[in-house]
C-alpha cells in the first residue's frame, strides 16, 4: 500500500512525505469544514430540506476531492461554491421566482456543458474570451453580493422605505452577535490562524448557546433526514427561460475555479515554466463534482482558496485532497448538530461576509489608469449587489466593455465570442423591457 501511494502520488518526486500530505489534508479539512453548515443553510432559503443538502454537500465535496487527488494529483479542495450558490438561491429562486427544482435543473445543464467542455480545449478558449478586467470585476461583484447577503441574513442590514437599506438594530442579540462574529473572524483571518472561519463559527456558537440563542438538539448524532426530497429533484420545465442563468453559472464557475486552481498551484510551486501540468484533469474535478452535486441536491462546485492552508503547510500532492475527502465522509452523522447551528444566522452570516470580502479583494488587481477596462469592470461589480443579480452584473459588464472598446478603437481586444455573449444579453434585456 505504501509503495502504491509513493508511486501514484509522486511523493518523492515532489519532495514531500506521506505524513506531511496526511497532516495537510487534515488542515484543509478543518479550513473548509464550515461549508457543511453554510451551504445547506443557504439552500434552506430556497425551500430545500437541510438534511438532503447536507448530505449532497458532503458527497459532492468527497467526489471532487477524490477526483482532484487520484486523477489530477493536486492538493486542491473541491466543494460547493458559496458565491455561485448564493446566486442560485437568492437571485434565481428568491428574486426571479423559479423553483429550486428548476434552479437545480439549470445548474445541471451548466454542469453537463462544463463537463463536456472540460474534455476539450474549448474550455480554455471560452475562459480566454472574457477579458481579465471583467473576470476581476465579476469576481469582486460576487464578493459584494455574498457580503450583502451575509449582512442581510445577520440583521446587520435591513429594508427601509426611504433609503432602501439601512443599519439594523445592534441592540438585538442576534444582530449584535453577528457583528461580534464578523470582527472575530476578521481578526482570526488577518492573524493567519488556521481554519479561522471554522474557529470563529465555533466560538460564536458557544456564545449563542450561553445566551440562549442556540438550543442544542435532543439528538446530536444521526444520519440526515429528508434525503429523498432533494436527490434527483431537479426539473427542466423552465429551462428555455433560464438560458441566461445557465450561461452565468457556466462562465462564473469556469473562470472562478480556474483562477483559484492556478493560484494554489503557483503557491505550491507546481507550475512549470508558467504551464499548469495536467490542467485538463484538474479542470475535470470541479466539473465532475458539479455534475454529481446537482443530481444529489446542491449547487455547482468550485476549487476553494482555503486549499492554500494545506499548501502553505507543505502539501504538494493529491494525497492531501483525498485525505480531505475521506474526512468529509465522516461528517455524515453530524446532521442534527449542523442543522441547529445553521438555524442561528449570527453563526453562519460572518462566514458569508468574510468570504465575500476576500472575493472583493480581487478589485485591487485592476488597472485603475486604463479607463476603457476600468469602467466596465467596476460597473459589473456594483450592479450585482444593487440589482441583487449576478446575471445583470455580468451582462452590464460585457455590454459596456464591447461598447467602450469599439468607441475607443480597441476592436482587436474584443474576442469574437464576446460579441455573441453581448448580443445575447442585449436580446434578453429587450425581452425584459417588452
pLDDT at 261 over 50: yes
pTM: 0.83
Q: How far apart are CA 344 and CA 342, in angstroms?
A: 5
Task: Count Cβ atoms within 10 A of the Cβ of residue 429 and give its class: 0-12 exposed, 13-18 middle, 19 or more buried.
Answer: middle
**Confidence label for 274 from pLDDT (cuts 50, 70 and 90):** low
pLDDT in tens, 234-250: 899 888 889 889 988 98
pLDDT at 232 over 50: yes
Q: How far apart are CA 144 and CA 249, in angstroms?
A: 17
pLDDT in tens, 381-398: 999 899 888 888 888 999
Query: What distance lies between CA 2 and its chain's CA centroid?
Result: 34
What is the Cβ-side half-sphere exposure of residue 36, based on CA atoms within 13 angstroms?
28
pLDDT in tens, 139-161: 888 889 889 998 998 999 998 88
Predicted local confidence at residue 402, as pLDDT: 95
Predicted local confidence at residue 205, as pLDDT: 92
DSSP states of 239-271 as a string? GGG-HHHHHHHHHHHHHHHHHHHHHHHHHTT--
Instruction: Determine what percent of the chain is predicted with pLDDT higher than 90.
Output: 44
pLDDT in tens, 46-70: 999 999 999 999 999 999 999 999 9
DSSP at 215:
P
Q: Beta 78-80 vs 301-303: how paired, if at all?
A: antiparallel
265-302 residues labelled b (16+ CB within 10 A) or e (exposed): beebebeeeeebeebebbbbbbbbbbbbbbbbbbbbbb
pLDDT at 19 over 80: yes
Q: Which of 154, 205, 147 is nearest to 386 (CA)?
A: 147
Secondary structure class of 272 (helix, strand, coil): strand
Q: Which of 340, 418, 397 is nearest to 135 (CA)?
A: 397
pLDDT at 434 over 60: no
pLDDT at 282 over 60: yes
Amino acid at each position: 500500500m505504501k509503495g502504491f501511494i509513493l508511486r501514484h502520488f509522486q511523493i518523492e518526486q515532489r519532495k514531500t512525505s506521506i505524513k506531511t500530505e496526511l497532516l495537510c489534508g487534515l488542515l484543509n479539512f478543518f479550513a473548509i469544514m464550515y461549508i457543511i453548515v453554510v451551504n445547506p443553510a443557504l439552500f434552506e432559503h430556497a425551500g430545500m430540506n437541510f438534511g438532503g443538502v447536507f448530505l449532497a454537500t458532503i458527497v459532492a465535496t468527497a467526489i471532487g476531492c477524490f477526483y482532484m487527488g487520484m486523477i489530477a494529483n493536486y492538493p486542491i479542495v473541491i466543494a460547493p461554491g458559496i458565491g455561485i450558490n448564493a446566486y442560485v438561491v437568492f437571485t434565481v429562486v428568491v428574486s426571479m421566482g423559479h423553483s429550486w427544482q428548476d434552479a437545480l435543473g439549470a445548474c445541471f445543464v451548466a454542469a453537463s456543458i462544463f463537463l463536456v467542455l472540460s474534455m476539450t480545449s474549448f474550455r480554455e478558449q471560452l475562459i480566454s474570451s472574457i477579458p481579465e478586467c471583467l473576470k476581476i470585476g465579476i469576481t469582486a461583484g460576487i464578493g459584494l453580493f455574498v457580503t450583502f447577503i451575509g449582512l442581510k441574513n445577520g440583521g446587520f442590514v435591513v429594508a427601509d422605505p426611504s433609503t432602501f437599506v439601512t443599519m439594523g438594530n445592534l441592540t438585538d442579540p442576534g444582530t449584535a452577535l453577528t457583528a461580534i462574529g464578523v470582527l472575530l473572524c476578521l481578526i482570526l483571518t488577518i492573524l493567519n490562524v488556521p481554519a479561522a472561519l471554522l474557529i470563529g463559527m465555533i466560538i460564536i456558537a458557544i456564545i449563542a448557546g450561553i445566551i440562549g440563542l442556540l438550543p442544542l438538539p435532543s439528538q446530536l448524532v444521526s444520519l440526515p433526514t429528508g434525503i429523498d426530497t432533494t436527490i434527483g429533484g431537479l426539473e427542466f420545465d423552465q429551462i428555455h427561460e433560464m438560458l441566461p442563468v445557465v450561461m452565468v453559472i457556466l462562465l462564473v464557475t469556469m473562470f472562478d475555479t480556474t483562477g483559484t486552481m492556478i493560484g494554489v498551484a503557483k503557491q505550491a510551486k507546481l507550475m512549470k515554466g508558467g504551464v499548469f501540468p495536467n490542467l485538463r484533469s484538474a479542470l475535470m474535478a470541479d466539473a465532475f463534482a458539479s455534475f454529481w452535486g446537482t443530481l444529489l441536491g446542491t449547487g455547482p462546485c468550485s476549487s476553494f482558496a482555503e486549499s492554500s492552508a494545506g499548501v502553505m503547510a507543505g502539501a504538494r500532492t493529491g494525497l492531501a485532497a483525498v485525505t480531505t475527502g475521506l474526512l468529509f465522509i465522516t461528517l455524515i452523522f453530524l446532521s442534527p448538530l449542523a442543522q441547529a447551528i445553521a438555524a442561528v444566522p449570527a453563526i453562519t452570516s460572518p462566514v458569508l461576509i468574510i468570504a465575500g470580502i476576500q472575493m472583493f479583494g480581487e478589485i485591487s488587481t485592476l488597472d485603475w489608469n486604463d479607463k476603457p477596462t476600468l469602467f466596465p469592470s467596476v460597473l459589473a461589480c456594483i450592479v450585482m449587489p444593487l440589482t441583487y443579480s449576478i446575471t445583470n452584473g455580468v451582462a452590464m459588464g460585457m455590454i459596456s466593455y464591447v461598447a467602450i472598446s469599439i468607441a475607443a478603437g480597441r476592436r482587436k481586444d474584443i474576442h469574437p465570442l464576446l460579441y455573441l455573449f453581448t448580443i445575447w444579453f442585449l436580446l434578453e434585456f429587450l425581452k425584459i423591457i417588452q
